[in-house]
Amino acid sequence: MLEQVDLSKKMDKDEYEKMSEELGIHLGELQREAWEMGIPIIVVFEGWHASGMAEIINRFLMPLNPMGFELYTTGKTCIHEEKKPLIWRFWTKIPKKGGIAIFDRSWYRRAIIEHFSKDIPEKEFSDCLNGLTYFERQLADDGYLIIKFFLHISQEKQQKRLEDIRGRGVPLFLAEEEEEDYIREYQRLMPLIEKVLERSDISHAPWTIVEANDLNFATVKVMVTFIRAVEEGISREEEQRKRKTEHARECTIPALCPSILEKTDLDRSLAKSEYEEKKKEYQERLSSLQYQLFMQRRPVVIVFEGWDASGKGGCIRRLAQALNPRLYRVVPVGVPSDIELAHHYMWRFYKEIPEAGHIAIFDRSWYGRVLVERAENLCEEQQWKRAYREINEFEEILANYGTIMIKFWMHIDKDEQLRRFKKRENTPYKKWKITEDDWKNRDKWGLYKDAANEMLQKTSTTYAPWTIVEGNNKKYARIKVLRTVVETLEEKFNED
Amino acid sequence: MLEQVDLSKKMDKDEYEKMSEELGIHLGELQREAWEMGIPIIVVFEGWHASGMAEIINRFLMPLNPMGFELYTTGKTCIHEEKKPLIWRFWTKIPKKGGIAIFDRSWYRRAIIEHFSKDIPEKEFSDCLNGLTYFERQLADDGYLIIKFFLHISQEKQQKRLEDIRGRGVPLFLAEEEEEDYIREYQRLMPLIEKVLERSDISHAPWTIVEANDLNFATVKVMVTFIRAVEEGISREEEQRKRKTEHARECTIPALCPSILEKTDLDRSLAKSEYEEKKKEYQERLSSLQYQLFMQRRPVVIVFEGWDASGKGGCIRRLAQALNPRLYRVVPVGVPSDIELAHHYMWRFYKEIPEAGHIAIFDRSWYGRVLVERAENLCEEQQWKRAYREINEFEEILANYGTIMIKFWMHIDKDEQLRRFKKRENTPYKKWKITEDDWKNRDKWGLYKDAANEMLQKTSTTYAPWTIVEGNNKKYARIKVLRTVVETLEEKFNED
């Protein structure tokens, strides 16, 4: 992509000043329009060292309203970032609806650096690029505009600028000393950059190569490209909104759902003495396993989903009792806040993933989209249908990073739920646990069962399998949860 | 405070289980009550090494609803934290209304470690403790409950437990290796801890010494103390709400305000040629000064306040043009979000302070409380009256950390404002800048002027002085701003 570029393009000062002023006004207007329509925009800048990136970005920022954008300079990772998958630091920085996030170096920088300096195996490099592709596709599916620039200069220009920068005593990389090594490696870097650009040049997030030997020309090209992309994005969005008002034909016969849950034997139970004995045993094993996890820097994600009153809280408490609060966190997932609703659905969950060596226990989770949001029509059909893939990709990224994934579906039958609801209503300090919503959800038992069955089928993966817990008997359920966690951890340690 | 403590206190298992269950139910109920009333609670745990802190905290957490609390383990600082004043990492973690933040080690840990290991001068130690005192008082003033525990054990107990921990192969400090040095320094640490406890035992945030030789007794003491404090807090809050409905007597004659702004000569102006020349000169100087700042790791805060249409944006753009976007950020301050309103007023500003070596330019700021919020009755009188002190303390903390503070009041007269409002209305791409609110604020010119005068008087400090910018002539104003920034930076560099 870079070889054919004509780097001789130029623009003189007067023409630049005239054009950039006009384009700037246009840009400001488009920013307000996208803001009002709630279209989120991501702008990525990559490029050679000394390609003038800081100057071009600064000029691009001038006509924008600072209220609506955020600039992120991607430098060295800090200790928190090192304990999370690469893409975490970018997921957590995506803009909300109507906002603009500008990345001065991006997720590609890491891929290039790692590959260049550490000579990682091709497979790992591919995994990494795949992860980046998931990220961009998931955002684009959700209506994010992604505009990517690569600032291209010639080797001679680069040498001249580097000398000039040194001459002026400007610190070269600010926070990026690690790059010093290969700053002069133009020729060796070229094929690698070509490969990265080619493999990540996808229709919903294409690259624009910017001829940056001349800063005026480069700035104008960035502005023009941005304006055209945002204009296109706005009209695409307008189209889609129009289409949504035309109703799709409704299906006349119901779908055939998988029936995984039918096979569950809910009669299993456990005597009190056996319960106490096993609980003690598993809690002790768990208690020492957590320190092994910590020392091996492996993160663990434990997910609890299931019917209302199926005993999630009780199981979580039996796990938590055995753990050091410095190493685990219970993450209760409820109704999303306004700010969470203004981001991609997965954003709030990326923010909660555990550090390497820590355990996150989710009391309900990202599966809400294919359960409650589906059953209650809280999202569009295409959103929850898309979510199976989004979820699998999310869990794949966690698993590739070394995360041990354990997922429980707490299963009870309708009669047992009724008994528990009534008991809650009759116990003063448990009454707050039961609300109108619980009774309402109960009326939709069939809808929820279909959703659960489909979820269990579509999101049981090799890297993140589901465990169905027969929950009518609380003691049996708690021991099954404890045992599954302990045995999964021990297994994973033996694998390594 | 520690010498007189009777460490022989104990509780047997049966009594503990009975009591902790009852207290747990009580605790859960109080958590819900405080949540509904919107009372934020901060719980601090400090104590000796091997005082059983993790176990006691975990037992304390069990009856709480995870939806309403957050546990923070204070370990080593990361690179971002090292570039901010000590208290920043705690300010950013305060709970929102109704929430509970639990600190496993806290702001005191830093004070103790620094003092113990680096032997810092008494003056610095006092400054540090003062900063912590500001923090707690400001929160308490805003209705935060602060409950502080020191877990006390004897030296013999400590030695026994440390051996036991080592025997079980548990990693001792998790993320806190830096403490290894003085873990056995019980006797040398004692007087230092005594001093810290004494000087920070204040009525709105008192310490409770917990006898922790026996974990059962300690847990029960923590629970009982917490319950009593929250009950007290709730009834105090109820009292206050009652009192607020009784109206205070209104003053019949207006106050005499200081008249700092009257003395401003708004006729100053600058010719175009001189403007262009000076602008170029100062921008070049600023451009190289920013790298000096970066290399010396000094943060800069530049604040812009002033009348609507007084030219803040134009001045900010002239500064920004000269800067590297990796080293500065414009922070526009608008209407607070719901989540910001649910925290202490200063919370949102702590989140925006610049890293060491960076420049933050605030387009409006924390002065909103004593300007617009005062003039428009958006907060209570006692809140904006209290804010002068809160603001001065905030800026003192920044200045003590080495931050260079530059504050501009952009001043124009009423006629000039009218001219500019009309011009905005008649320029298509500037029309969005002028709203109903601007015209409404203009009607309250007198109220705003009184507020500005009082603000300029009460918040001009040696460490963060105000500069009044005569703004009727835009060219004059822009050069004055550029010159003030450049000269202040040069002065500060010469001081060092």
How far apart (Å, rounded) are the C-alpha atoms in residues B495 and A27? Answer: 43
Decide: helix, strand or coil at residue B304: strand
Asked if residue B251 is part of any domain, the answer here is no
Taking the Cβ of residue A326 and every Cβ of chain B, the question of whether any pair is shorter than 8 Å is answered with yes
Interface contact A291-B170, CB threshold 8 A: yes
Interface contact B78-A80, CB threshold 8 A: yes
CA B210-B213-B215 angle, to 5 degrees, is 75
How far apart (Å, rounded) are the C-alpha atoms in residues B326 and B365? Answer: 22
Residue B149 belongs to domain with CATH number: 3.40.50.300
Tokens for A33, please give them: 């329009």
Domain match, A301 and A419 both = yes
Find out whether B370 and B451 touch, Cβ atoms under 8 Å. yes
Average pLDDT over residues B36-40: 96
Structure confidence at residue A114 (pLDDT): 66
Asked if residue A397 is part of any domain, the answer here is yes
Average pLDDT over residues A187-200: 88
Domain match, A176 and A271 both = no
CA B23-B25-B27 angle, to 5 degrees, is 65
Asked if residue A251 is part of any domain, the answer here is no
Structure confidence at residue B356 (pLDDT): 94
- Chain B residue at shortest CA distance from A56: B325
Structure confidence at residue A175 (pLDDT): 45
DSSP string, B175-230: T-GGGGGGTT-HHHHHHHHHHHHHHT-BTTB-EEEEE-SSHHHHHHHHHHHHHHHH
How far apart (Å, rounded) are the C-alpha atoms in residues A255 and B28? Answer: 44
Q: Which of A99-113, A400-414, B109-123 has the highest mean pLDDT?
A: A400-414
Taking the Cβ of residue B431 and every Cβ of chain A, the question of whether any pair is shorter than 8 Å is answered with no
How far apart (Å, rounded) are the C-alpha atoms in residues B344 and B134? Answer: 13
Alpha-carbon distances of B430 from A349, B321, B331, B435, rounded to whole Å: 40, 20, 21, 11
Domain match, B184 and B278 both = no
Among A209, A244, A279, which residue terminates a domain? A244
Taking the Cβ of residue A356 and every Cβ of chain B, the question of whether any pair is shorter than 8 Å is answered with no
Taking the Cβ of residue B359 and every Cβ of chain A, the question of whether any pair is shorter than 8 Å is answered with no
Domain match, A237 and A269 both = no
Share of chain B above pLDDT 90, in %: 72
Question: Which of A238-252, A307-321, A325-339, B63-77 shows the lowest per-residue confidence on average (mean pLDDT)?
Answer: A238-252
Cβ-Cβ contacts under 8 Å, B434 against chain A: none
How far apart (Å, rounded) are the C-alpha atoms in residues B356 and B295? Answer: 9
Average pLDDT over residues B182-196: 83
Decide: helix, strand or coil at residue A253: coil
Domain match, B270 and B193 both = no
Domain match, A167 and A269 both = no
3-state secondary structure string, A21-44? HHHHHHHHHHHHHHHHHCCCEEEE
| Residue type present at position B82 | E
Put the strands of the sheet holding B145-152 in their side by side order: B69-73, B100-104, B41-47, B145-152, B207-211
Cβ-Cβ contacts under 8 Å, A338 against chain B: 338
Average pLDDT over residues B2-10: 90
Share of chain B above pLDDT 70, in %: 95
Among B224, B241, B258, which residue terminates a domain? B241
Average pLDDT over residues B300-305: 98
Q: Which residue has the higher pLDDT, B109 or B44?
A: B44
pLDDT band at B175 (very low <50, low <70, confident <90, very high): very low
Taking the Cβ of residue B323 and every Cβ of chain A, the question of whether any pair is shorter than 8 Å is answered with yes
Domain match, B398 and B280 both = yes
Distance from CA of B148 to the nearest CA of A (A): 18
Nearest to A25 among B73, B76, B429 (CB): B429
Interface contact A32-B363, CB threshold 8 A: no
- Count interface pairs A-B at CB distance under 8 A: 96
CA A463-A467-A469 angle, to 5 degrees, is 170
Can you point out the beta strands (E) in B389-436?
404-411
Q: What is the pLDDT of residues A27-49, one digit of tens each?
A: 999 999 999 999 999 999 999 98
Residue A14: CB partners within 8 Å, gap ≥ 6? Answer: none
Domain match, B232 and B305 both = no
CA A81-A85-A91 angle, to 5 degrees, is 80
**Phi–psi pair at B470, nearest 5 degrees:** -70, 110
Q: Which residue has the higher pLDDT, B315 or B117?
A: B315
Average pLDDT over residues A14-31: 96
**In the predicted structure, residue A55 carries a pLDDT above the cut 50:** yes
Helix-then-strand count for chain A, H and E: 19, 10
Tokens for B224, please give them: 């009982």
Q: What is the pLDDT of residues A66-117, one digit of tens each?
A: 999 999 998 777 788 888 988 899 999 999 999 999 999 999 887 776 666 6
Average pLDDT, chain B: 91
Asked if residue B2 is part of any domain, the answer here is no
Asked if residue A324 is part of any domain, the answer here is yes
Average pLDDT, chain A: 91
Nearest to A326 among B66, B73, B291 (CB): B73
Domain match, B318 and B458 both = yes
**In the predicted structure, residue A177 carries a pLDDT above the cut 60:** no
Sign of CA pseudo-dihedral A87, A93, A98, A100: negative
Taking the Cβ of residue A288 and every Cβ of chain B, the question of whether any pair is shorter than 8 Å is answered with yes
Structure confidence at residue A76 (pLDDT): 76
Asked if residue B257 is part of any domain, the answer here is no
**Short-list B257, B324, B3, B87, CA closest to A175:** B324
Question: Cβ–Cβ contacts within 10 Å for residue A280, how many?
Answer: 11
**In the predicted structure, residue B107 carries a pLDDT above the cut 80:** yes
Put the strands of the sheet holding A145-152 in their side by side order: A69-73, A100-104, A41-47, A145-152, A207-211
Structure confidence at residue A248 (pLDDT): 62
**Short-list B470, B305, B309, CA closest to B374:** B305
Q: What is the pLDDT of residues A281-316, one digit of tens each?
A: 999 999 999 999 999 999 999 999 999 999 999 999
Domain match, B142 and B189 both = yes
**In the predicted structure, residue B141 carries a pLDDT above the cut 90:** yes
Q: What is the pLDDT of residues A105-151, one digit of tens each?
A: 999 887 776 666 666 677 777 777 888 889 999 999 999 999 999 99
B 25-44 residues inside an 8 A Cβ radius of A: 25, 28-29, 32
Among A244, A276, A307, which residue terminates a domain? A244
- Chain B residue at shortest CA distance from A362: B66
Interface contact A321-B429, CB threshold 8 A: no
- Chain A residue at shortest CA distance from B58: A325
Structure confidence at residue B81 (pLDDT): 84
Tell me which residue has tokens 């260079």: B404
Domain match, B302 and B198 both = no
**In the predicted structure, residue A470 carries a pLDDT above the cut 70:** yes
Sign of CA pseudo-dihedral A301, A305, A308, A309: negative
Cβ-Cβ contacts under 8 Å, A435 against chain B: none
How far apart (Å, rounded) are the C-alpha atoms in residues B9 and B216? Answer: 10
What b/e string do you get for B118-155 counting C-beta neighbours within 10 Å, with b at 16 or more? eeeeeeebeebbebbebbbbbbbebbbbbbbbbbbbbe
Nearest to A294 among B171, B295, B317 (CB): B171
Q: Count of domains in chain A? A: 2
Structure confidence at residue B125 (pLDDT): 77
CA Rg, chain A, in Å?
A: 27
Burial class (CB in 10 A: 0-12, 13-18, 19+), B315: buried
Cβ-Cβ contacts under 8 Å, B54 against chain A: 324-326
Q: Which residue has the higher pLDDT, B23 or B240?
A: B23
Asked if residue A1 is part of any domain, the answer here is no
Q: Which residue has the higher pLDDT, A461 or B115?
A: A461
Q: Give the range of the structural domain holding residue A472, as residue numbers without chain letter.
A: 265-495
Within 13 Å of residue B216, how many CA atoms lie on the same side as its CB? 14
How far apart (Å, rounded) are the C-alpha atoms in residues A163 and A166? Answer: 5
Domain match, B195 and B311 both = no
Distance from CA of A297 to the nearest CA of B (A): 11
Nearest to A332 among B66, B71, B429 (CB): B66
Average pLDDT over residues B222-229: 96
- Chain A residue at shortest CA distance from B323: A58
Asked if residue B260 is part of any domain, the answer here is no
Find out whether B29 and B188 touch, Cβ atoms under 8 Å. no
